[in-house]
Amino acid sequence: MEEEKCPKCGAPLSEITETPTGRKLRRCSTGVWNTETHKTDGCDYVKWLEVEPQTLDEKCPKCGEPLILQVTRFGKKMKKCSAGGWDKEEKKATGCDYVEWINGTTEKLDEKCPKCGEPLVIFTTAAGKKMKKCSTSGWDREAKQATGCDYILWLKAEFKPQVANGEEFLPPEDIF
Ligand SMILES: [Zn+2]
Ligand SMILES: [Zn+2]
Ligand SMILES: [Zn+2]
Protein backbone atom coordinates (compact mmCIF):
# COMPACT_ATOMS: atom_id res chain seq x y z
CA MET A 1 0.00 0.00 0.00
CA GLU A 2 1.19 3.49 -0.86
CA GLU A 3 2.63 5.42 2.09
CA GLU A 4 0.35 8.36 2.79
CA LYS A 5 1.14 11.23 5.14
CA CYS A 6 -1.24 13.02 7.47
CA PRO A 7 -1.95 16.50 6.04
CA LYS A 8 -2.24 17.87 9.61
CA CYS A 9 0.96 16.67 11.26
CA GLY A 10 2.96 14.81 8.58
CA ALA A 11 2.99 11.43 10.38
CA PRO A 12 2.16 8.36 8.28
CA LEU A 13 -1.44 7.20 8.20
CA SER A 14 -2.27 3.91 9.88
CA GLU A 15 -3.84 0.79 8.38
CA ILE A 16 -7.37 0.80 7.01
CA THR A 17 -9.98 0.05 9.65
CA GLU A 18 -13.62 -0.69 9.12
CA THR A 19 -16.48 0.63 11.25
CA PRO A 20 -19.37 -1.65 12.30
CA THR A 21 -21.51 0.06 9.66
CA GLY A 22 -19.10 -0.92 6.88
CA ARG A 23 -17.39 2.45 6.37
CA LYS A 24 -13.62 2.38 5.88
CA LEU A 25 -11.15 4.88 7.26
CA ARG A 26 -7.47 5.54 7.93
CA ARG A 27 -6.49 7.49 11.04
CA CYS A 28 -3.30 9.43 11.58
CA SER A 29 -0.86 6.96 13.22
CA THR A 30 -0.30 9.40 16.12
CA GLY A 31 -4.03 9.41 16.92
CA VAL A 32 -5.60 6.75 19.11
CA TRP A 33 -9.33 6.36 19.69
CA ASN A 34 -9.99 6.48 23.43
CA THR A 35 -12.96 4.23 24.13
CA GLU A 36 -13.49 5.82 27.56
CA THR A 37 -13.66 9.47 26.56
CA HIS A 38 -14.97 8.72 23.04
CA LYS A 39 -12.43 11.19 21.69
CA THR A 40 -9.21 10.83 19.73
CA ASP A 41 -5.99 11.23 21.73
CA GLY A 42 -3.22 12.83 19.67
CA CYS A 43 -3.80 13.90 16.09
CA ASP A 44 -7.45 13.58 15.13
CA TYR A 45 -7.03 13.43 11.34
CA VAL A 46 -9.24 10.79 9.75
CA LYS A 47 -9.40 9.98 6.08
CA TRP A 48 -12.64 8.34 5.00
CA LEU A 49 -12.22 5.91 2.15
CA GLU A 50 -14.55 5.22 -0.65
CA VAL A 51 -16.76 2.23 0.00
CA GLU A 52 -17.07 0.33 -3.22
CA PRO A 53 -20.70 0.02 -4.17
CA GLN A 54 -21.57 -3.63 -4.26
CA THR A 55 -23.63 -5.02 -7.12
CA LEU A 56 -26.49 -7.08 -5.77
CA ASP A 57 -28.12 -10.14 -7.17
CA GLU A 58 -31.41 -8.24 -7.30
CA LYS A 59 -33.14 -6.43 -10.10
CA CYS A 60 -34.62 -2.94 -9.97
CA PRO A 61 -38.41 -3.23 -9.65
CA LYS A 62 -38.77 -0.15 -11.88
CA CYS A 63 -36.52 -0.87 -14.84
CA GLY A 64 -35.00 -4.34 -14.34
CA GLU A 65 -31.34 -3.21 -14.17
CA PRO A 66 -29.22 -4.67 -11.31
CA LEU A 67 -29.37 -2.95 -7.94
CA ILE A 68 -26.26 -1.79 -6.08
CA LEU A 69 -25.66 -1.43 -2.35
CA GLN A 70 -24.18 1.88 -1.28
CA VAL A 71 -23.15 3.32 2.12
CA THR A 72 -23.44 7.09 2.70
CA ARG A 73 -21.04 9.15 4.79
CA PHE A 74 -23.40 8.82 7.74
CA GLY A 75 -23.23 5.03 7.54
CA LYS A 76 -26.71 4.69 6.15
CA LYS A 77 -27.15 1.94 3.63
CA MET A 78 -29.31 1.93 0.59
CA LYS A 79 -30.04 -0.07 -2.48
CA LYS A 80 -30.18 1.95 -5.64
CA CYS A 81 -30.59 1.27 -9.28
CA SER A 82 -27.33 0.94 -11.24
CA ALA A 83 -29.02 2.84 -14.09
CA GLY A 84 -29.42 5.91 -11.83
CA GLY A 85 -26.97 8.80 -11.61
CA TRP A 86 -26.60 12.39 -10.45
CA ASP A 87 -26.11 15.35 -12.76
CA LYS A 88 -23.80 17.72 -10.84
CA GLU A 89 -24.48 20.69 -13.11
CA GLU A 90 -28.22 20.39 -13.20
CA LYS A 91 -28.28 19.11 -9.59
CA LYS A 92 -30.82 16.48 -10.38
CA ALA A 93 -31.12 12.74 -10.65
CA THR A 94 -30.64 11.14 -14.03
CA GLY A 95 -31.71 7.76 -15.29
CA CYS A 96 -33.67 5.47 -13.02
CA ASP A 97 -34.46 7.03 -9.62
CA TYR A 98 -35.20 3.85 -7.68
CA VAL A 99 -33.73 4.03 -4.15
CA GLU A 100 -34.53 1.81 -1.20
CA TRP A 101 -33.10 2.77 2.19
CA ILE A 102 -32.15 -0.19 4.31
CA ASN A 103 -33.61 -0.25 7.77
CA GLY A 104 -31.74 0.28 10.94
CA THR A 105 -28.36 -1.09 11.88
CA THR A 106 -27.18 -2.20 15.31
CA GLU A 107 -23.74 -1.78 16.86
CA LYS A 108 -22.63 -3.47 20.06
CA LEU A 109 -21.62 -1.26 23.00
CA ASP A 110 -19.41 -2.00 26.02
CA GLU A 111 -22.14 -0.72 28.28
CA LYS A 112 -24.47 -2.76 30.41
CA CYS A 113 -28.22 -2.35 30.55
CA PRO A 114 -29.21 -0.54 33.77
CA LYS A 115 -32.32 -2.72 34.02
CA CYS A 116 -31.04 -6.24 33.50
CA GLY A 117 -27.22 -6.04 33.16
CA GLU A 118 -27.07 -7.49 29.63
CA PRO A 119 -25.01 -5.59 27.02
CA LEU A 120 -26.56 -2.58 25.29
CA VAL A 121 -26.57 -1.99 21.54
CA ILE A 122 -26.93 1.20 19.52
CA PHE A 123 -29.74 0.98 17.05
CA THR A 124 -29.77 3.44 14.14
CA THR A 125 -33.09 3.77 12.41
CA ALA A 126 -33.40 4.16 8.66
CA ALA A 127 -34.01 7.89 9.27
CA GLY A 128 -30.67 8.19 11.09
CA LYS A 129 -32.10 8.44 14.62
CA LYS A 130 -30.12 6.58 17.24
CA MET A 131 -31.14 4.82 20.40
CA LYS A 132 -29.46 2.65 22.95
CA LYS A 133 -31.40 -0.45 23.68
CA CYS A 134 -30.95 -3.70 25.48
CA SER A 135 -29.51 -6.55 23.40
CA THR A 136 -32.12 -8.92 24.83
CA SER A 137 -34.97 -6.91 23.36
CA GLY A 138 -36.71 -8.07 20.25
CA TRP A 139 -39.94 -7.89 18.33
CA ASP A 140 -42.37 -10.75 18.00
CA ARG A 141 -43.75 -10.30 14.49
CA GLU A 142 -46.63 -12.69 15.01
CA ALA A 143 -47.83 -11.38 18.34
CA LYS A 144 -46.87 -7.81 17.23
CA GLN A 145 -45.32 -7.05 20.59
CA ALA A 146 -41.91 -6.33 22.09
CA THR A 147 -40.08 -9.21 23.75
CA GLY A 148 -37.24 -9.28 26.28
CA CYS A 149 -36.01 -6.25 28.18
CA ASP A 150 -37.68 -2.95 27.26
CA TYR A 151 -34.85 -0.51 28.16
CA ILE A 152 -34.52 2.22 25.50
CA LEU A 153 -32.63 5.52 25.58
CA TRP A 154 -32.99 7.82 22.58
CA LEU A 155 -29.84 9.73 21.68
CA LYS A 156 -29.69 13.25 20.38
CA ALA A 157 -29.12 13.40 16.66
CA GLU A 158 -25.49 14.10 15.79
CA PHE A 159 -26.43 15.79 12.59
CA LYS A 160 -29.49 17.24 10.97
CA PRO A 161 -30.60 14.83 8.30
CA GLN A 162 -30.88 16.76 5.08
CA VAL A 163 -33.77 15.73 3.00
CA ALA A 164 -33.41 15.30 -0.73
CA ASN A 165 -30.05 17.01 -1.11
CA GLY A 166 -29.09 14.53 -3.78
CA GLU A 167 -26.60 12.77 -1.50
CA GLU A 168 -28.05 9.42 -2.43
CA PHE A 169 -27.12 10.04 -6.05
CA LEU A 170 -23.61 11.36 -5.55
CA PRO A 171 -20.75 9.18 -6.66
CA PRO A 172 -18.65 7.91 -3.72
CA GLU A 173 -15.74 10.31 -4.32
CA ASP A 174 -18.07 13.21 -3.52
CA ILE A 175 -19.65 11.48 -0.54
CA PHE A 176 -16.31 10.79 1.12
ZN1 LIG B 1 -1.73 13.63 12.09
ZN1 LIG C 1 -34.01 1.08 -12.16
ZN1 LIG D 1 -31.97 -4.97 29.65
Per-residue pLDDT of 109-141, as tens digits, reads 889 999 999 999 988 776 667 889 998 888 777
Ligand 3 center to residue 52 CA distance, Å? 36
Does the pLDDT of residue 61 top 90, yes or no? yes
Q: What is the distance in A from the centroid of ligand 3 to the CA of 148?
A: 8
pLDDT of residue 96: 93
Instruction: Identify which has the larger pLDDT, 88 or 119.
Output: 119
Confidence of residue 2 (pLDDT cuts 50, 70, 90): low
With a pLDDT cut of 90, the percent of the chain lying above it is: 30
Q: How far is the CA of 35 from the centre of ligand 1 (A)?
A: 19
For the whole model, what pTM was predicted?
Answer: 0.43
Q: How far is the CA of 160 from the centre of ligand 2 (A)?
A: 29
**How big is the CA angle at 113 (ends 111 and 119), to the nearest 5 degrees?**
55
Q: How far is the CA of 173 from the centre of ligand 1 (A)?
A: 22
Distance between Cα 153 and ligand 3 center (Å): 11
Contact 80, 172 (CB under 8 A): no
Q: How far apart are CA 173 and CA 151, in angstroms?
A: 39
- State the Cα–Cα distance between residues 141 and 37, nearest whole angstrom: 38
- Residue type for position 159: F
| Nearest to 40, CA basis, from 10, 71, 14 | 14
Measured distance CA(165)–CA(176) in Å, rounded: 15
